[in-house]
Chain A
Amino acid sequence: EPEVTQTPSHQVTQMGQEVILRCVPISNHLYFYWYRQILGQKVEFLVSFYNNEISEKSEIFDDQFSVERPDGSNFTLKIRSTKLEDSAMYFCASRGGGSGNQPQHFGDGTRLSIL
């Protein structure tokens, strides 16, 4: 069964550095998402992306964050000038097109640790 893949599985970065999290969505999917889950807390929506632009973003997704689909397969989340509170698990998800009621499929996540 096709799956969403995320790399790296664990990223350790010094505070203030930039980090790029990578995702390869399921190949025929059209909608892409990033979520984060701080340890012990709820999964939180960050951003959705469709047709090469952001379709919706949460209040968490400020100017520090950006997303990009640089080619036909990758979907990236960039965090500029990381802060300690950015430490979390980051999940990528994708969804097929057509009916809006297709389920979202999640990757296994990238654990981001900011030191």
Chain B
Amino acid sequence: KQEVTQIPAALSVPEGENLVLNCSFTDSAIYNLQWFRQDPGKGLTSLLLIQSSQREQTSGRLNASLDKSSGRSTLYIAASQPGDSATYLCAVRTGGFKTIFGAGTRLFVKA
């Protein structure tokens, strides 16, 4: 059974710092991995999607990597800003249509 774990559960950093969020999954047979951002009381905003055949994806200050064989993904945020404060969720899509989410990392960027 696929399980997704995110570390750390919470993170507080000063503005301008570069940071890394970690995601691990137990079954390497995934179709893709998606990183989301969730603001309090809101839905999920898709940040990056990495296909199982890819190693990384970049969008602006965000870079996500995938090491399928070791069951790990990282989300790198460069030059963090207070507006980056949110919960970041990692989700893996299994071979079918099911998507399994991690519990998220709550990020707080201090001005």
Which of the four size classes fits the interface of chain B?
A: 20 to 34
CB-CB contacts below 8 Å: B1-36 with A: 31-32, 34, 36
Residues of chain B with a CB closer than 8 A to A48's CB:
97-98
Which of the four size classes fits the interface of chain A?
A: 20 to 34
User: Would A55 and B103 be within 8 Å (CB), given that A101-B51, A104-B34, A109-B43 are in contact?
Assistant: no
Residues of chain A with a CB closer than 8 A to B89's CB:
43
Residues of chain A with a CB closer than 8 A to B49's CB:
101-103
CB-CB contacts below 8 Å: B79-111 with A: 89, 91, 96-104
Residues of chain B with a CB closer than 8 A to A75's CB:
none
Q: Is the CB of A103 within 8 A of B46?
A: yes
Q: Using a CB–CB distance below 8 Å, which chain A residues touch chain B?
A: 4, 6, 31, 33, 35, 41-45, 48, 50, 55-56, 58, 91, 93, 100-109
Which 4 residue pairs spanning A and B have beta carbons closest together? A48-B97, A56-B97, A106-B44, A108-B43
